[in-house]
Structure 1
Amino acid sequence: MTDPTTAQQPPLQWSDTLDRARDHGLLAKELFAVISTPTSGIGPVLANLEPHLAHQAKLDAEGTMFAAGPLSSTDGSAWDGMGLFIYRAPSLAAAIALAEQDPMHASGARTFTARVWMLNEGSLSIRASYSQGKFHLE
């Protein structure tokens, strides 16, 4: 007989996961994570960096970009050209279309995977010091 506490359970439906988060008073904000991976090393990534950054800046200006940046190697010592982007989009299909338009992906310098990401916990603090003309985000 199989022990129900150790038997592998099927994954939850995403809608059930959202409901559980909401039931616990969590944010349950759906965003879209894109993990961008080099296809042929760092060279093609560096060759496409300027148009990629312009694309990212455009998405940021439009309010589509939630966050983006490079990912280090697993030991934190180097950058092999990997990146992570979090988009605000109406659907996973729309997020994939945005990622396909990125010059890194359109050129073949990187490939990507996209997933729905649920933002539940965390905080954002903003401090503006008017007298010093500084803006600080924590």
Structure 2
Amino acid sequence: MAGHVDTAPSMYPTLLYRDARAAITLLTEAFGFTRNAVYESEDGSVLHAELSYGNGAVMLGSRGRGGPFDEAMAGAGPVGVYVVVRDTDEHFRRAREAGAEILLEPTNQDYGSRDYMARDHEGNVWSFGTYAPAIETAEDPASS
């Protein structure tokens, strides 16, 4: 039975796929994720999707669309992670002062978030911002 999470998770693994629609189908149909949002471009590529499972969620999109995140992920490690922060600018200042490789300075997004992007020493891409969507959850069938 689906329910509503009272507080949004503070981290969202973020993945890019060559065929994001096939990934959404696999994650929802084979693994029981709930499709919460899918935003597509005019050419049908997935700009942004949110899928949840339990009290967690992943964000994903189509590889090869261009832009800072797609470019950063081209040579990145196996995953990108989005972390919700209260004050993007303060978090950014701390990361920059600590020597983090900054890929995108704080930027206001069309969907209401203020984000920045950095890369860790293993090449993983970390995005930090204020976007924290509420998610619908699916009950874990294994717990029944």
User: TM-score by structure 2 length?
Assistant: 0.27
Structure that is richer in strand per residue: 2
Structure that is richer in helix per residue: 1
User: TM-score by structure 1 length?
Assistant: 0.28
Higher alpha-carbon Rg: 1
